[in-house]
Structure 1
Amino acid sequence: MPDSLLSRGAMLLLAAVGCALAAPAMATSAPGFAGPLAVHLRSDSITLRMAKAPQLYLAGTIDAAAVEQMRQLLRSGRVSPGTDIYLDSSSGDIAAGIELGRLFRAARLSTHLGTWHTGSAPARPATCLDACAYAWLGGLYRWSPSGTDRIGLHQNLLPDRAAAEPGAPPPAELRDYVAAMDVDPARLAQVSGAMANGIAWWDAARLLPAQVANNGRLPLAASYMKTPGDAPRLVLSQTVRGREDQVTLQCAPGQVALTARYAVGDERARSLAARAMYAYFEVGEQAWQPHLGKRPQADGDALVFERRMPFAELTNVLRTGSLGAWVEITGSPVRLGFWLAPSLAEKLTQPFYADCQAMQPGYVPPKASAGQARPSFWKRIGQRLRGGG
């Protein structure tokens, strides 16, 4: 049987799932699954072909026993790096949720909200509350809830509280964990919607902009290299579900060369290159000269193409929150490619721009401010006589 069932009791699990599916879809408060942790693993060939990863469904109370159950699954090798974890839990211990989140991150797992269902039976809404929400934060890739799925924290478990509530971890400990999961603790307050029955439900639409969810995208990586005699070179890298795409910006007098590297795998790169019609960059959702330039070529595991822009266009490229690199393929109804946000790497894009600007014809360095003016001739002589250089 392609779907594996792993639980503390098959009869208990079947009864719990049956009750859950029978619950009204529009209940006033989605209860989540609060029984002992039930685990379903879906790793059949169809799932692996369509979803590109196994799917593990966890429903029930998150406690020390649940953490140990997950640890044993990881040790068994049945849950591999990249597995998608679907959570549905409204009860549990916060310390256990944090430990579960750490296990997810160490194993490079992705977290979603979702409930197990088979056949044509509709999936009921998932609820991820308190311990579950902290476990969800442990996902290397964290996917925003969809539909009527909900995630949130009781007010007394928010990490921005001044003091700990009875039975709750100290707020500083919660903030340290959230930060260790590459999430700014202050962003949790930004995504919280209206309080309802003491629960701050997170607004799914705010999770991605606030970078609490990343929907498969790791933070933008940037590398700036400038050595004497070489032109400034900036590399922006975006990892999406384990695939790293790049845009390289190489400065030259009067222009900047942009090279896109779209990682698709060796065999697919060759196939797509043979059918590629044209490629282009998109700055702020505006295509830049889409029908000009050479077609993309296969280079190892990637499709690669280059375009040259006037230096005057560089500011728009570095400030945009969406720089796309797209390829149009013969016979395909959709374009292929990726996008990244140069504006998120401002600490490196600014010095790159300054050094590139200094290479441009007619560049005049700014005059030194009064506080940085060169000392007068007689003052320099006095400094030398006093041993000051």
Structure 2
Amino acid sequence: MTDLTFTHTEASRLPAAERLAILEDPGFGKRFTDHMVSIIWDREIGWHDAEVVPYGPIPMDPASSVLHYGQEIFEGMKAYRHPNGDIVTFRPEANAKRLNESARRLALPELPVDLFVRAVNELIAIDAEWVPRGSDQSLYLRPFMISDESFLGVRAAERARFMVIASPAGPYFTGGVKPVSIWLSESHSRAGHGGTGAAKCGGNYAASLLPTRVAQEHGCAQVLFTDSNTPDTIDELGGMNLFLVRADGTLITPRLNGNILAGITRDSLIRLAKDHGREVEEREVTVSEWQAGVADGSIVEAFACGTAAVITPIARLESERGVLVDFGDQAPGELTMSLREELTGIQFGTVEDRFGWVSRVVTGGTTE
């Protein structure tokens, strides 16, 4: 265990009536809890000054390296309230390990896994009243790390700050779970070989914003990116992984090729499917294969997945060339929804957690 003590500075809490009004319809990423976590790192002494402090602006020098060179990474995870009132997190160690993989690629310091988990739980424990009780609601957690050394020069920063903020959340897509249309970007790429595609860093998402706006202008909820070298090969959506479902129940998903984020929801669904005896193929997947499979009836479902939206059924794939795939009234598919119900059931405590994925948050920010 990392020997670091958290100091606490109590915030002026939002009045209960105002907080409860927010929790009635929290939206996604719009309002934030009363506190946040901050831990400092520098090359000489490592991680230090672990604090839980009131939520608010971060003092930052205009020369902070994150503003000029983009040394920044983040994670996305949730806390859930179970029917008995317990608050739990879902596979937090996996988020911690992925943060460290991103840190290595962005030349940022790695954070001990136990310190990551403790930081998240410290925030949940002090702001437990912000964890919603409504259906399909959760507390979205955003751990992130920035380089905040003040200098101008192209090198890895020698000072960094790890923080955690939290936001009560309802469904990611307005209207809840319903089939969406996605847009195939044929003019822009999300990542390239040898780049930062497998890291969860802001630059990857910034690169997706313009094509996402184009997708939305065409009535689509998300954008689909393909490989920059072989444009027919599917990578992932702007912020989600992709699965196709064959008529025999086999799941197909693009393999992790260095361009694709290793989604924790993606991994969880693969393990659920295999536990039920289903075949899962992690391999190169093409737009042409998807089109041909829907045309001949061998591919019957498609869905996107990620922490924010969990599983979102896909109804149509469109591009400048027109409608490439249309599942019609087949979407959402039966397997798509059964996987979603099982995964969310584990998270919300209505389905047995036979994998040991759920960790209960208790007073003091520890887990059981």
TM range (shorter): under 0.3
Return the TM-score normalized by structure 2. 0.26
Tell me the TM-score normalized by structure 1: 0.25
Q: Which has the higher contact order (CA 8 A, sep 6+)?
A: 2
Larger Rg: 1
